Amino acid sequence: MSIPEELKYDRSHEWVKTDGDAVVVGITHYAQDQLGEVVYVELPEVGNAFAVGDELGTLESVKAVSEFLAPVAGEVLEVNDRLEDEPNLVNDDPYGDGWLVRLSGSADGQDLLDAAGYQEFLIQESA
């Protein structure tokens, strides 16, 4: 199961990538696998501010709805517009073209896991 080394992770299965003084957020391979085929993504409005753990948006499969949360505090700078017509990108390329939101803010000083830590977390979860 894919867990890129260069990213950080939180315990609700979002990944965080530092990009200058902003971060990009998406959901992990494990999360999209659990969710099943994504049919719709509800993204936040650009300009809205969120605290850590706030609901940023939702991901819908045919039979379920899942929230994705803000792993860092920040303001929404950009959202992935391609997901409106191609929600399958979340399944097909969760760390690349399936990114969700760009937030102002930093991954430093946050209670995030590195790749090994997230792997450990996944093992514990399924125990």
DSSP structure class, residue 72: S
Q: Which of residues 85-104 bind other proteins (CB under 8 A)?
A: 87-88
Nearest residue (CB) to other proteins, 64 versus 116: 64
Nearest residue (CB) to other proteins, 6 versus 54: 54
User: In the beta sheet, which residues pair with residue 60?
Assistant: 40, 65
User: In the beta sheet, which residues pair with residue 26?
Assistant: 15
Q: Which of residues 25-84 bind other proteins (CB under 8 A)?
A: 37, 39-40, 42, 60-65
Q: How far is the CB of 110 from other proteins (least distance, A)?
A: 28
Q: How far is the CB of 65 from other proteins (least distance, A)?
A: 5
The backbone region for 26, taken as left when phi is positive above 0, alpha when psi lies in -120 to 50, beta otherwise, is beta
Cβ within 8 Å of residue 8, ≥6 positions away: 15, 16, 17, 18, 71, 107, 110, 112, 113, 114
Q: How many chain residues bind other proteins (CB under 8 A)?
A: 12
Q: Does 19 bind other proteins (CB under 8 A)?
A: no
Which chain residues interact with other proteins by CB under 8 A?
37, 39-40, 42, 60-65, 87-88
